[in-house]
Amino acid sequence: MSHRAQSAPVTALRRHDVASAARIVVKVGSSSISGANSGQIAPLVDALAAAHGRGAEIVLVSSGAIATGMPYLQLDERPTDLATQQAAASVGQNLLIFRYQDSLDRYDIIAGQVLLTAGDLENPSHRGNAHRAMDRLLGLRILPIVNENDTVATHEIRFGDNDRLAAMVATLIHADLLVLLSDVDALYTRAPHLPGAERIDHVVHGDPMLGVELSGSRSGVGTGGADTKVSAARIAAAAGTAVLLTSTGLVAEALRGDLVGTWFAPALP
């Protein structure tokens, strides 16, 4: 069983020490692993398995239940009503976990499904139960796959996006590193397709990021964008967890410690 301290990481993780991070949360969005991009699950699992193989404890926060279920409900775009979202999530979550486990079988790694609502992490009793379950799974070398429990969540008590969920999970389990994946290789001063956009390599803790224009999701299947990722990065960094924002295609390099993406330095302990 894992015996991690019940507080923020003792020392703040530095960028050049990423390869030695002991506990890592990786978040992947719907657009990266569903539809035409469902083939990205295998290389994502390759990267997670490599980190797991060197002894790191890995948690994957994966969106995609609704997007995965949509074709089976003959839906061409993400539903807007709650009941249909719940139905799509119910179908899609099962298929999504199967696809991950099918890929993880190549490495003899077992996944554990963890579905949470915002209320679970706001209620002290439920939060404690979630922490104990996650800690035990990691101690048993299981790879938890976390998603919002869309089937029972309501509009009023949703996380809003899985970037925020990932930040809260990283805080819950006192992760050393949170890796937020998207279809963009790093954070830019404005949408990267716009003229004058400049890549941001490093964000110090507490930086107000004045002059940075943040945009929402444009994928049509997800709910997050640069704005939600920065907000999530601030939550995790304030709790002492370092954050790396990069693209799903660069996840292997990110977990190896290569200088990719945008680094959000954590608050000092």
Q: What is the pTM of this model?
A: 0.89
Helix, strand, or coil (residue 59): strand
150 vs 9, more confident: 150
Binding site, by residue number, is 27, 63, 150, 162, 182-183
Query: Is residue 143 within 8 Å of 101, Cβ to Cβ?
Result: no
pLDDT at position 6 is 44
What does the pLDDT look like over 97-150, one tens digit per residue? 999 999 999 999 999 999 988 778 888 999 999 999 999 999 999 999 999 887
Binding site for ATP, by residue number, is 27, 182-183
195 vs 144, more confident: 144
Binding site for substrate, by residue number, is 63, 150, 162
What does the pLDDT look like over 244-269, one tens digit per residue? 999 999 999 999 999 999 999 999 87
In single-letter form, the type of residue at position 86 comes to Q
Q: Any residues with CB less than 8 A from the CB of 139 and at least 6 apart, and which? A: 1, 2, 3
- What is the average per-residue pLDDT within 141-163? 77
Query: Is residue 189 within 8 Å of 148, Cβ to Cβ?
Result: no
What is the Cα–Cα distance from 222 to 206, expressed in whole angstroms? 28
Q: Which domains, from first to last, does the chain contain? A: 18-264 (3.40.1160.10)
